[in-house]
Chains A and B, each alone.
Chain A
């Protein structure tokens, strides 16, 4: 029998039971939809994050005493460690052959005021003269903090573009005096806009000389070192050197682990990948579950359909349909059901991903392999769960089927 006839029969029967057919494929739709939507968002985030991290400088790495803290006990232990200092930064620069420059950074949060305008909870960074070279900060207007500023503990600052916009709203901020907490700093420059990373602005900060930061906000605040390797190839070597130098300076016994930690873009990327692969697993689990449930629903409805159409099966057998042809007809029908579920799922999933990337800062990238897999799995579900009802139809005794009312 021609495939076209099977398709025709299937479409006619599905059209007769529109609502039933729609409800039947709901499980498949939800399964495929969640796979497409979540994979699109995770893939979009992956792309975005790796681009941003590379932009951040693939030959820089960070050293601080905390590292990636994942539980409270770790945090308490890390607190007891010795702070890193500006002297450590200078030592790295002096002793390492593959490190180009090391900047130091201390961070806090405070309100920033100019006249009657105020921006609350701004990230205040105390940086030294190496910071600009080690990181990717560019100045858009005015100048950056100099060695002199740091040595002489000058009360000057460079504003992030968000802070400038909010405090000065179009006025020239250079030479004006802003208050960071209780302390006055005059503006000498404005940093270039960096945009936002996963919805968090990178421009809501104020940079002041590290020395001035420590004078104003306490010299006991921990310092993070930002080291820049000569080039991408020497990044690993630079990290190894930094580790050796710091262990020596901090007198870490041979048998003990580091009491500081080194983070690079790769470390972040790895952590991020770990997180997203877990998210992937969870998604796959949920999707698999709803596809199995969807498949059982399809099987159930196909059994109902086979029973309802017992007489039709008898008629077809009487006019010469072979058992394989009856089986094929019902398999095609469950395939169309689940295939339609797959297509609708893909459309809704893509739409959902587009919607999410429009209304939230999460980016989305629809992957062809995800769409393909979604459709394939949906059809596979239809074929697998369609086998039993179709076999049931094909096994019928034509005489009994013809007599069925």
Chain B
């Protein structure tokens, strides 16, 4: 079976003033379907950049990134948007929910851009909210939800289009440890349901929930250990 993610000698260089910053300095890694991967590293190690590349929000300066057997560098803006929409679900540290829309509408957003008819959208939104245990709070706006509930809504949004991979960037960073643990339970549950998850974190106990830990340092893979 083909790899879901195939990264070969990927470099990302930012031009900051006259200086070149090597955010990623030649990364190679592969990832299969239904893996649960954690990316760790100190700040400045390049983990956010790697996340953005994997999430097709950005493209590498050099090297090859194949996602589902397609070379991402060759894709147009619209094709990247389509991959983000159908293949990738983002979960952010700061939740990134639309403040003026209720939980259900936030979850519905990827379906709208996917052009799915209204009746199907409603059903899928219900299912996703059910899966994260937020069905009761569907009609509440983010400001009326607790931090944990907001993150559940965000996870439901990431799940709703049945993506190939869920990318979670410090999903517990803005939550107390008890709520964080609850959120990790949610991730474990959806991993159990067959989803592929990439988790970025700098907390050891959070990373332990995954099946494989990749440590980055200075834009390079320092270690790649299966737990």
Q: A residues within 8 A CB of B67?
A: none
Stretch of A99-107, A118-126, A308-316 on the interface side: A308-316
Q: B residues within 8 A CB of A322?
A: 77-78, 81-82, 113
B92 within 8 A of A: yes
Quick one: CB contact mask for B85-117 with A, threshold 8 Å, 1 for yes?
A: 110001010001110110000000110111100
> Do B157 and A319 touch (CB < 8 A)?
yes
Cβ contact of A399, chosen from B57, B100, B161, cutoff 8 A: B57
Cβ contact of A320, chosen from B97, B98, B110, cutoff 8 A: B110
> Do B85 and A323 touch (CB < 8 A)?
no
B9 within 8 A of A: no
A316–chain B nearest beta-carbon distance, Å: 7
Which residue from chain A places its CB closest to the CB of B158 in the assembled complex?
A: A319
> Do B85 and A320 touch (CB < 8 A)?
yes
Q: A residues within 8 A CB of B82?
A: 320, 322
B113–chain A nearest beta-carbon distance, Å: 4
> Do B57 and A321 touch (CB < 8 A)?
no
B52 within 8 A of A: yes
Within the assembled complex, what's the spacing in Å between the Cα atoms of A13 and B161? 26
**A312-B98, A315-B96, A399-B57 known; A320+B81 contact, CB < 8 A:** yes
B84 within 8 A of A: yes
Within the assembled complex, what's the spacing in Å between the Cα atoms of A325 and B113? 8
A169 within 8 A of B: no
A402 within 8 A of B: yes
Within the assembled complex, what's the spacing in Å between the Cα atoms of A316 and B90? 11
B57–chain A nearest beta-carbon distance, Å: 5
Within the assembled complex, what's the spacing in Å between the Cα atoms of A314 and B84? 12
Within the assembled complex, what's the spacing in Å between the Cα atoms of A322 and B86? 12
Which residue from chain B places its CB closest to the CB of A12 in the assembled complex?
A: B100
B58 within 8 A of A: yes
**A323-B78, A398-B57, A399-B58 known; A318+B90 contact, CB < 8 A:** yes
Within the assembled complex, what's the spacing in Å between the Cα atoms of A67 and B130? 89
A401–chain B nearest beta-carbon distance, Å: 10
A16 within 8 A of B: yes
> Do A319 and B77 touch (CB < 8 A)?
no
Q: B residues within 8 A CB of A320?
A: 81-82, 84-86, 110, 113-114, 161
- Which residues of A from 307 to 340 have beta carbons under 8 Å from B? 311-312, 314-325
Within the assembled complex, what's the spacing in Å between the Cα atoms of A12 and B98? 12
> Do B81 and A321 touch (CB < 8 A)?
yes
A2 within 8 A of B: yes
**A318-B84, A320-B86 known; A2+B77 contact, CB < 8 A:** no
Within the assembled complex, what's the spacing in Å between the Cα atoms of A227 and B86? 86
Q: B residues within 8 A CB of A248?
A: none
Cβ contact of A315, chosen from B77, B81, B98, B115, cutoff 8 A: B98
Q: Which of A16, A317, A324, A325 has the most CB of B within 10 A?
A: A317
Q: B residues within 8 A CB of A318?
A: 55, 57, 84, 90, 96
> Do A317 and B81 touch (CB < 8 A)?
yes
> Do A319 and B58 touch (CB < 8 A)?
no
A326–chain B nearest beta-carbon distance, Å: 10
Within the assembled complex, what's the spacing in Å between the Cα atoms of A399 and B58? 8
Q: A residues within 8 A CB of B90?
A: 318-319
Q: Which of A13, A319, A398 has the most CB of B within 10 A?
A: A319
B118–chain A nearest beta-carbon distance, Å: 8
Q: B residues within 8 A CB of A5?
A: 112
- Which residues of A from 1 to 35 have beta carbons under 8 Å from B? 1-2, 5, 12-13, 16
B159–chain A nearest beta-carbon distance, Å: 12
Which residue from chain B places its CB closest to the CB of A2 in the assembled complex?
A: B112
A-B contact pairs, 14 of them (CB 8 A): A2-B112, A315-B98, A315-B109, A319-B113, A320-B81, A320-B84, A320-B86, A320-B113, A321-B81, A321-B113, A322-B82, A323-B77, A323-B78, A323-B81
A residues adjacent to B (C-beta < 8 A) = 1-2, 5, 12-13, 16, 311-312, 314-325, 398-399, 402
Given A5-B112, A314-B96, A325-B113, 5 further pairs, Cβ under 8 A: A2-B115, A317-B84, A320-B161, A321-B113, A322-B113
